[in-house]
Each structure stands twice: as C-alpha cells, then as structure tokens.
Amino acid sequence: MLILDGLPDRPINGKTPLTVAKKPNLDKIAEISVNGIMDTIAPGIRPGSDTSHLALLGYDPYKFYTGRGPIEALGVGIELKPGDVAFRANFATVVGDGSIFDKVVVDRRAGRISETEELVKALNEISLPVEFEVAKATGHRAAVVFRGLFTDFATDTDPKVVGEKVRRCKSNRAEVAEIINEFMQKAHETLEKHWVNEQRAKNGLKKANAILLRGAGVMKEVPSFKDRFGLRLKVISATALIKGVGKLVGGEVFTPHGATGNKDTNLESKISSAVKALDSSDVVLLHLKAFDELGHDRDFNGKVRFIEKLDPHLENLLDLDLSNVCLIVTSDHSTPVKVGDHTADPVVVSITHEDVRRDEVTRFDEFSATKGGLCRIRGMDVLNIALDLLNISKKFGA
C-alpha cells in the first residue's frame, strides 16, 4: 500500500498537479488497476493523517483514535499501555519570578534547540507519584507519558502563543491535574539549573527551561493487526505520526536510510525497502510525506516536480509479481495547494492484482478516477478488498 500523503488536489483553472505532471509509471498503474475515488473517513469529513491511516489499516478511527498525544509518543518510541496519558511537548523559554505558572513564555521553541538528549535524561529522573516517561522527538519537540492516569481530559499547559503565562493543567480528575502540574514545576526547576542551559546562557542562547504540554490523549485497548487479520504489518515512514499509527495497531515500523519525510527523501531507499519488506511481512504500508508538505506550502509546481521525481522509481512496483501481490496506490487525504491544509475531497485509489476487474481508466488523477470500476469507496474498505483479491479473507456466513 503506497500512500502519497496529501497528493490529491482541487483544480486551479481546471488543472491539478496530477493532471499536469508527466508520470508514465503512475498512469501505467492506473491502467492495470481497478480505480476509483475514496473517502478515507467519510464523504465531507476532513481527515487527519493519523485518523485516515487508521482507517486505511482497517481500524475505525471513531472507535480507535486516541488523539494525537499517544500516537506521537508511540511514534518516537515510547511503549504505551491502556490508560497511559500522553502529551506532545516542546522545550520552551520562560521568564519571570515565582512558580512555573507565574512565568511567561517568550519562545515556544527555546531558540530552536535540537540537542535535547541530556535535558530529556534529567527530566526522566524527576520524582513523581506516578511513573512517567519523556522522550525526545525531532528538534525542540518531545513526548511525555504519565502511566495509568486513565483520563483523556487533561488541558494543555502550553499557552500556544508567546507573551502568555504557562497554563495550569485541568482535568476531570483533580489528582491527575495535580500530578501533571507537579511535573511542570519540577521540570522547570530541573531544566533551569541544568548545565546544558547554563552553557546556553553563557553562549547567549535561550534557555530551554520549561517543557510545555499539549494534545493529551489516553491510550486505548487496540487489538493488534496480527490478532485482527492474522497478518504481519510493516509501516515504512519517516514521520512520527504515521509510525505512531503503525505502533498503535501493533505493527513493525521502519525508517529506511535517507528517509526524511520531506522532498529530499531518498525515494530509491524507501521504495526498495518496501519491496524488500514483502519478504518478511504480509502487509507493507509505504508512506511518502512530501506531497502533503508541498500542499501545506501551497506549492503547485513543487507537487508536479515531486510526482515527476517519484515516477521513475515506481518501475520497481510495476515489477512486482501481481499473481501474488496486491498493489494499492492511494492517499490519506487531499492537501490542495489553494487551501494549504487537508480537505475532504476524495482521494484517488488504484488497486491492482492479476485477477482484478480492470476498467478503462488510463490516468492516475482526480478526474479519471471517478470513471473507474471501484466507483466511490471508503478508507476502511481498501484493505478488505485487497485481502479478498488475494483470497486470504474469511467468509462471512456459509
């Protein structure tokens, strides 16, 4: 399953990056596929990349989505148990007197600090009434997990804008808020006097003297992919959020050499890793993030260029043995350049296998797909369709 994150678009003067780009291999895939449009969640529902990937892996996001905190935490390598409460976090600079909650945020990225390993280590030595874990993410980012708090209502301590005070966490359970606020204060005391920050101060850099929390979510009981489908899942991505979804459903996750989650990613490395992964996995999800970034950046030509950069690498997928492999090429959502964000416009989906009912579609784009043999399906359908084509799904009834 090749997921071209955010690739589909809305037309500008009737054209989208997919209708403009030269992409013989992508069009060849459409030609040998049954094609259609797909609502990864449901028509008109704007998907996140996390909720839509859950659906594409056969997990109803309305049932299994935990919010972003746990998925990011899983994505940076923290193991979670049901009931653990996870936050996204960032190192920040605060100034002023009194407790952490009297101080004002002056930089939400602490001067774009990125070497936070020692700070994270120190934070993990704080003493709290519950177990917890802090993990480094990219740049100034981190994830923080409090074990066994069993609530998904815990407000952000991150005020989200500079010039405001750090917020007290509130929760439907007073003891939960108390623990999180104790962490906030102790983290500040630990960071303020840490040698890394003393050195930064000497060098005229902003201190990373606070850690701000947002996006609380509680880990749910999620049946593993192996238990649900009896299949081994591998998710190949450089993006923590997508790796987190893979972990959430109990899959193996892997970031190939040179994969960056952006347009400078090593396409050769990613695609050959995916092909190779088919030897030891049953379902391989290969995630390419760059189109989404280019959509957020409103870069029409950038999308066109990246389609054309990707296309030659797709020859490896055309070489797959389609008597034995089902290839799905699709997206998790549209990220139109005119909008600069995810929209609910349906995505293009092409499913191929030796036995598929091929249609007359010969181009992989938003308009051609509407005439395909799949008509309009949902994200939750696509894995089931593939397993059925491979004759490995269970019959419902007699």
Binding site for a second copy (CB under 8 A): 10-11, 14, 36-37, 41-52, 61, 65, 68, 71, 215, 241, 336, 338-339, 341-345, 355-359, 366-367, 370-378, 381-388, 391, 393-398
Which residues lie across from 85 on neighbouring strands? 146, 218
Alpha-carbon distance of 38 to 58, in angstroms, equals: 14
In the complex, least distance from residue 391 CB atom to a second copy, rounded to whole angstroms: 6
> Judged by CB, which is closer to a second copy: 80, or 119?
80
In the complex, least distance from residue 380 CB atom to a second copy, rounded to whole angstroms: 8
Specify the DSSP element, H or E, that contains 292: helix 290-296
The pair of three-digit structure tokens given for residue 99, joined into one six-digit string: 């407790």
In the complex, least distance from residue 363 CB atom to a second copy, rounded to whole angstroms: 14
In the complex, least distance from residue 277 CB atom to a second copy, rounded to whole angstroms: 22
Residue found under tokens 């990707």:
310
Alpha-carbon distance of 42 to 128, in angstroms, equals: 43
Query: Which amino acid appears at position 281 of this protein?
Result: S
What secondary structure letter does DSSP report for 205? P
What secondary structure letter does DSSP report for 252? E
Which residues lie across from 349 on neighbouring strands? 36
In the complex, least distance from residue 287 CB atom to a second copy, rounded to whole angstroms: 14
The pair of three-digit structure tokens given for residue 362, joined into one six-digit string: 């010969």
> Judged by CB, which is closer to a second copy: 11, or 129?
11
> Judged by CB, which is closer to a second copy: 17, or 256?
17
Q: Compute CA distances 327 → 2, 42, 141, 294, whole Å.
A: 8, 23, 35, 25
> Judged by CB, which is closer to a second copy: 34, or 196?
34
> Judged by CB, which is closer to a second copy: 21, or 271?
21
> Judged by CB, which is closer to a second copy: 101, or 367?
367
Alpha-carbon distance of 303 to 307, in angstroms, equals: 6
In the complex, least distance from residue 388 CB atom to a second copy, rounded to whole angstroms: 4
Query: Which amino acid appears at position 98 of this protein?
Result: G
